[in-house]
Structure 1
Amino acid sequence: MKKRKHHLMWTLIKENARYFLGAALLTVISVLLGFFTPAILAEVLDNYLQGMPSRLPGFVANWVNSLGGREFMRANLWIPGVAIVAISVVSGACNFLKGRLTAIGSERSARRLRNDLYSHLQELSFSYHSKTPTGDLVQRCTQDVDTARRFFAMQLLNIVDALMMVGIALALLIPISLKITMISLMIMPLLFLFAWQFFKLVVKAYRTADEAEGHMTTVMQENLTGVRVVRAFGQAQREIEKFDKAAGDTRDKFIKLSWLDAIYWSTGDLMGMVQTLLTLVFCLMEARAGRISVGDIVVFTSYIGMLLWPVRNLGRILSQGGRAMVSLNRIDEVLRQKPEQDTEGAITPPLSGDIVFENVNFQYDEGGEVLRDLSFTIRSGQTAAILGATGSGKSSIALLLQRLYAPQSGRITIGGHDINQVARKHLRSRVGLVLQEPFLYSKTIYDNIRIAAPDATRAMVEEAAQDAQALEFIEESEKGWETMVGERGVTLSGGQKQRVAIARTLLKDNDILIFDDSLSAVDTTTDARIREALARRSENVTTIIISHRILTLSQADVIFVLEDGRIKDAGNHSELINRPGLYQRIHQIQSGLADELQAHTSQEQINE
């Protein structure tokens, strides 16, 4: 697991190496320049003002001597001042360019993560999406990616910064006074130990906080998606309380995380101040004894801050690094999921032949067996219907035909080809499926229909809408074809959404059409017109209609009655209504209701 996390991080760094390496070089320059200012001040105090030996490198000392030496510099102290300003300007420019390069590198890394996640999610199985909360996936694709981005942008180069500062500070301090240098390092081991313990606590706390935020996002997403149901059942207050509970849990966990940060920084500040005080006291004692100069005190007090700040900042690096590791781990959990893969040598045959289920057994990951030793045949070009009680496995047959799920045993063939050997993309492009609750995008009606066949002409789109009995309400809409349907088709009625979805499926060239209770929200007259258009349009297409409405099923060539995952009866409408069984009972109930309704209507007309 750790190797995977580190591998993902190193992959992102290597892909943007030119930006991060450039930023690292600028960091080195900036850190080196930061040590020049105390050195210049020490030179002014000790050499130019007190006449002590120069600390400058040989080539710089020779240049100063060529100008007139100590007396010249004493009379022109503005020169060291200009040098300090120039160092600050160059250092500022380096920091600006470093920030720009790290921003580019981090944003490119974030874009790579988002694209990889999004494209990988498209390849994952339907079963994965059905059991994974959408809000949690949104959290991983947004918040977790942003956490990793912030680490690359703000903390990655601080590691180089810290190492350079500590190394150079020690190299400069030890020659001045090994004793004071060692005293200055007294608290460092304790700071390192404290930072490491803090890192472990942060990783654990951030994981729980991040997961809590993912749960909160899921609660919000479910509420916004099901806003109609919430309003219809007056559950707004309950949903508010549910979200408040999730938001409160998230708040508590992030407050705990903030407390950890506060404890570390306050304790780190205290330890750093104590160390600075100890160093200053020993510097004054050494200066009083004549073993170091005033310039040495300036250098030590300046450099000790540069020595302690990186160690103290180590907590921030570890904190953000720990969060980034948690986020990359959560991202990697998605990327590790195996995508749907076709078998080696997958074929793309014509799928216009007979559909055959041979001893198919199927159950979902969680739950009992849905289909039991199921066997039946649908001839090419036939219109087949399936009737069954809720939970009998009707929709599972449709999902198996598109290989959204795979049976535990048995075989499904189309035209003699086992669908497990057929390329998934080819299979799904030739098998059209219209669900009871179709999904529509927040686009125009025209775009929603045309999405199935982007190259379709306007005439083809209108013809599909006409066959789906959708043309009339589309043209009567205020903006016609350019009417926005809203997110998930919220501005359309259930029947209108179903008809748009049917038009979308009809626009695609299909060998097999499956209507999974997708006429349930339309009236019987529209139902009959759609079936008539389907019969005319899909003359050579195998059609499967799943429904509870006998009228919808009655014109099918063959009707299968499904009970407890098995075919209990089969035949045409005339045969089944004259044979005792589930089909006959449902027909009698629905016919009785129709007769009762007709009689009631006739009585009302007589009374009027």
Structure 2
Amino acid sequence: MKPTEHQHSRYGALWDLTEGQRARYGAAIGVMFAATACTYGLPLIIKWCIDGIVDGQFAGLDTFPLAQGFSNVAILSLAALGAIACTGVGGGFTYLRGRWASMASEAITRRLRNRLFSHLERLPAAFHDRSETGDLIQRCTSDVETLRRFLAAQVVEVGRTVIMVLTVTPVLFWLDVKLALTSLVLIPIIFMLAWKFFGRVKDLFQAKDEAEAAMSARLQENLTGIRVVRAFARQEHEVLRFAEANANFRNQDQRLNVIMAWYWSVSDAVSMTQMGLVLFFGAYWVMTGDISVGTLFAFYTYVGMFIWPIRHLGRVLEDVGKAVVALGRLNHILEEPEESSDEVAPATPIRGRIEIHGLTFGFDPEKPVLSDIDLTIEAGETIALMGPPGSGKSTFAQLLLRLYDYETGSIQIDETELSALPRDHVRSAVGIVLQDPFLYSRSIRENLLVGKWDATQAELDAACDEAAIAGSIDRFSRGMDAMVGERGVTLSGGQRQRVALARALVRNPPILILDDSLSAVDTGTEQHILGALAARKGRATTLVITHRLSTIADADRIVILNEGRIVQLGTEAELREAQGPYARLRALQHDFESSLEADLKVTGQSREKTP
């Protein structure tokens, strides 16, 4: 299996990931070498003892005059102390290896998580439009954990396997050449099995990981929309959909487990065969007098010590494959270009004059959402934006926030091209309220402070009064410190909209965008809010996106959009007199309201006559 250029880049990325922690990994490998030396010293001590007992004399004692008078029991006791010392020192080195490797892996994954989150926060809206939230969560949690496990255990394990093979091989040949060759005869087969297994497991793990991501995305989507699922009695259908994704994940996981089972069973058979060969030929050569019993013991012990790490190489390579796949999925996020941030903010604050010429924009270049828009909005002016669904109203607001960048036409803020202004500078000058506002699972106060983190209590109170939410907040037992639940679930739709409106108003922005933000409030509350907004008139350039005629009563001008084009523009009086979409919409709403009043009057009279 020849590595491709793409695979080389992934392995390079894995190496780059260890930057800043390579010294710790180097130290861990160094103490592991010392631990291995202690471990390999133990069989030599036991070999010397066995041969001394069998031969009736301990070899090499003549070089130590002090040991000449020791009894065999004393000599064996000293050898036992030496073995205990080797084990203890080796255990200490093993502890340091695990500690330093864990410290390095935790530092790397902590940095990686922070980098991922920071990068996700700066990616363009188009990336989030085409990505599933559940899949992104899967990448940032499960895939990062896969990398952490690899970095904590297997980086050093690779070094351990290499060190064991390189250190024990000379010792084996020093003890006996024939038995050394016998001890290594099947090792290449184990290496080939591990490499073949590595080639299969990468693809299988990627399929499993993607199946788990799809299952997580389905779970996240259903939990987010659980009220819709219940409202439409779709529980059984969604359970079946999840079961389908779960079954696919199970099947992919089972395919991976089958391959692993085959590898472990075959490698176990080869490893035990290798151990059997050493025992058989070693016993034969003991009987012929070619080697001693102690030498056979040392060989058998050494082979057992290094053959299992070599067999474990399959697990190491499996985790390498998983880590490479996980890193590839993470790089799918990290390699996405962030929103540009090299624009220079102007010296003067934004006042709110907006000038648009020839603006054309579409999420798909072949299907424009806005076409040839020309519009000038003076600072402090209130503009109502109306039109049927899909006419481009919300897209226009998103362009003003630089959530998307246009390529055709021009948008100027205070005579400066919008695309030349830093995104943070533009967004800090805009307050926006969406039709379906998002609230954090925190207190009302914390949600309001999102608009202005250093707002005073007086500013918060004033914004809540203008948004007609102060009364509702006062009825909560904890007032502004009441928790609103995930996405504001403990509040009604109208309360969520009003909290979001207060959040935008507390910022006191030069540009205010209300995207159908009063659709869930009652008529009385709407009139209160509109009165407060009328009192603020002139303080901010206000763009009101709405379908309700009552909302545009105080607008300076009305813009009617249809199929991405401006079809009418003028004051309310001008559009009322002209024959066009606005006049037809006004007539329809007037007829509906008249019919509703008549029906209510008839219903009321019927109730009065009922005994």
Same fold (TM over 0.5): yes
SS of the residue 1:245 aligns to: helix
Contact 1:362–1:369 under 8 Å retained in 2? yes
Contact 1:386–1:559 under 8 Å retained in 2? yes
SS of the residue 2:410 aligns to: strand
> Which letter maps to 1:512?
I
Tell me the alpha carbon deviations over residues 239-266 of structure 1, each in whole angstroms, 9 at most, x when there is no partner: 1111111111111111111122111111
Asked if 1:259 is matched to 2:295, the reply is no
Asked if 1:30 is matched to 2:35, the reply is yes
Q: What is the correspondence of 1:484-523 to structure 2 with a 5 Å cutoff? A: 484-523=483-522
CA 1:274–1:309 in structure 2 vs 1: closer, same or farther (change >3 Å)?
same
How far 1:603 moved relative to its partner? 2.8
Equivalent-residue separation in structure 2 for 1:12 and 1:534 (angstroms): 53
How far 1:538 moved relative to its partner? 4.5
Equivalent-residue separation in structure 2 for 1:474 and 1:311 (angstroms): 67
Report the identity percentage: 38
> Which letter maps to 2:559?
F
SS of the residue 1:522 aligns to: coil
Contact 1:23–1:97 under 8 Å retained in 2? yes
How far 1:348 moved relative to its partner? 5.7
CA 1:247–1:283 in structure 2 vs 1: closer, same or farther (change >3 Å)?
same
Equivalent-residue separation in structure 2 for 1:460 and 1:119 (angstroms): 30
Contact 1:348–1:422 under 8 Å retained in 2? no
Contact 1:343–1:421 under 8 Å retained in 2? no
How far 1:573 moved relative to its partner? 1.5
How far 1:31 moved relative to its partner? 0.8
> Which letter maps to 1:16?
Q
Task: Provide runs of 4+ in structure 1 moved above 6 Å.
Answer: none
Q: What is the correspondence of 1:562-581 to structure 2 with a 5 Å cutoff? A: 562-581=561-580
Asked if 1:45 is matched to 2:41, the reply is no
SS of the residue 1:514 aligns to: strand
Equivalent-residue separation in structure 2 for 1:453 and 1:3 (angstroms): 47
Tell me the alpha carbon deviations over residues 32-62 of structure 1, each in whole angstroms, 9 at most, x when there is no partner: 11111110111011135415773x6xxxx67
> Which letter maps to 2:404?
Y
User: Which residue is equivalent to 1:233?
Assistant: 232
SS of the residue 1:14 aligns to: coil
Equivalent-residue separation in structure 1 for 2:537 and 2:326 (angstroms): 50
SS of the residue 2:276 aligns to: helix
How far 1:416 moved relative to its partner? 0.8
Equivalent-residue separation in structure 1 for 2:315 and 2:421 (angstroms): 53
Equivalent-residue separation in structure 2 for 1:505 and 1:193 (angstroms): 64
How far 1:421 moved relative to its partner? 0.6
SS of the residue 1:162 aligns to: helix
User: Which residue is equivalent to 1:595?
Assistant: 594
> Which letter maps to 1:27?
M
Q: Please give the TM-score of this superposition, normalised by the length of structure 1.
A: 0.96
Tell me the alpha carbon deviations over residues 566-590 of structure 1, each in whole angstroms, 9 at most, x when there is no partner: 1001111122122222211211111
User: Which residue is equivalent to 1:19?
Assistant: 24
Q: What is the correspondence of 1:319-398 to structure 2 with a 5 Å cutoff? A: 319-345=318-344, 347=346, 349-365=348-364, 368-398=367-397
SS of the residue 1:443 aligns to: coil
How far 1:332 moved relative to its partner? 1.3
Asked if 1:153 is matched to 2:152, the reply is yes
User: Which residue is equivalent to 1:546?
Assistant: 545
How far 1:179 moved relative to its partner? 2.1
CA 1:51–1:13 in structure 2 vs 1: closer, same or farther (change >3 Å)?
farther
How far 1:271 moved relative to its partner? 0.4
- The correspondence for 1:2, drawn from 7, 17, 20, is 7
How far 1:13 moved relative to its partner? 2.2
Equivalent-residue separation in structure 2 for 1:358 and 1:187 (angstroms): 77
How far 1:503 moved relative to its partner? 0.2
SS of the residue 1:375 aligns to: strand
Tell me the alpha carbon deviations over residues 67-116 of structure 1, each in whole angstroms, 9 at most, x when there is no partner: 227x5345542221222222222222222222222221111111111000
Equivalent-residue separation in structure 1 for 2:221 and 2:388 (angstroms): 28
Equivalent-residue separation in structure 2 for 1:366 and 1:488 (angstroms): 33
Q: Which runs of 5+ in 1 are unaligned?
A: none
User: Which residue is equivalent to 1:211?
Assistant: 210
Q: What is the correspondence of 1:223-302 to structure 2 with a 5 Å cutoff? A: 223-302=222-301
Which one is further off, 533-542 or 443-452?
A: 533-542
User: Which residue is equivalent to 1:98?
Assistant: 97
SS of the residue 2:369 aligns to: strand
CA 1:206–1:348 in structure 2 vs 1: closer, same or farther (change >3 Å)?
farther
Which one is further off, 495-504 or 594-603?
A: 594-603
Contact 1:287–1:294 under 8 Å retained in 2? yes
Asked if 1:412 is matched to 2:411, the reply is yes
Tell me the alpha carbon deviations over residues 199-250 of structure 1, each in whole angstroms, 9 at most, x when there is no partner: 0111000001001111111101111111111111111111111111111111
Tell me the alpha carbon deviations over residues 441-495 of structure 1, each in whole angstroms, 9 at most, x when there is no partner: 0011111112211111111101101100110111112322121110001111111
Contact 1:403–1:424 under 8 Å retained in 2? yes
Which one is further off, 219-228 or 181-190?
A: 181-190
CA 1:533–1:311 in structure 2 vs 1: closer, same or farther (change >3 Å)?
same
Q: What is the correspondence of 1:113-192 to structure 2 with a 5 Å cutoff? A: 113-192=112-191
Contact 1:436–1:519 under 8 Å retained in 2? yes
Equivalent-residue separation in structure 2 for 1:80 and 1:196 (angstroms): 41
Contact 1:349–1:422 under 8 Å retained in 2? no
> Which letter maps to 2:376?
T
User: Which residue is equivalent to 2:196?
Assistant: 197
How far 1:554 moved relative to its partner? 2.9
Contact 1:159–1:317 under 8 Å retained in 2? yes
Asked if 1:67 is matched to 2:67, the reply is yes
Equivalent-residue separation in structure 2 for 1:366 and 1:218 (angstroms): 29
How far 1:126 moved relative to its partner? 1.0
> Which letter maps to 1:172?
V
> Which letter maps to 1:19?
R
Contact 1:343–1:420 under 8 Å retained in 2? no
SS of the residue 1:15 aligns to: coil
Tell me the alpha carbon deviations over residues 250-306 of structure 1, each in whole angstroms, 9 at most, x when there is no partner: 111111111221111111110000111112111122222211111110111111112
How far 1:166 moved relative to its partner? 0.6
Equivalent-residue separation in structure 1 for 2:557 and 2:300 (angstroms): 93
Query: How many residues get paired?
Result: 602
User: Which residue is equivalent to 2:477?
Assistant: 478
Aligned-pair RMSD on alpha carbons? Answer: 1.8
> Which letter maps to 2:373?
L
> Which letter maps to 1:551?
S
User: Which residue is equivalent to 1:426?
Assistant: 425
Equivalent-residue separation in structure 1 for 2:267 and 2:428 (angstroms): 62
Which one is further off, 11-20 or 400-409?
A: 11-20
Equivalent-residue separation in structure 1 for 2:26 and 2:212 (angstroms): 34
Equivalent-residue separation in structure 1 for 2:536 and 2:553 (angstroms): 19
Contact 2:343–2:421 under 8 Å retained in 1? no
SS of the residue 2:491 aligns to: coil
Equivalent-residue separation in structure 1 for 2:545 and 2:44 (angstroms): 85
Equivalent-residue separation in structure 2 for 1:239 and 1:122 (angstroms): 31
How far 1:63 moved relative to its partner? 7.2
Which one is further off, 247-256 or 204-213?
A: 247-256
> Which letter maps to 1:382?
E
Q: Which runs of 5+ in 2 are unaligned?
A: 1-5
CA 1:343–1:45 in structure 2 vs 1: closer, same or farther (change >3 Å)?
closer
Equivalent-residue separation in structure 2 for 1:63 and 1:437 (angstroms): 89
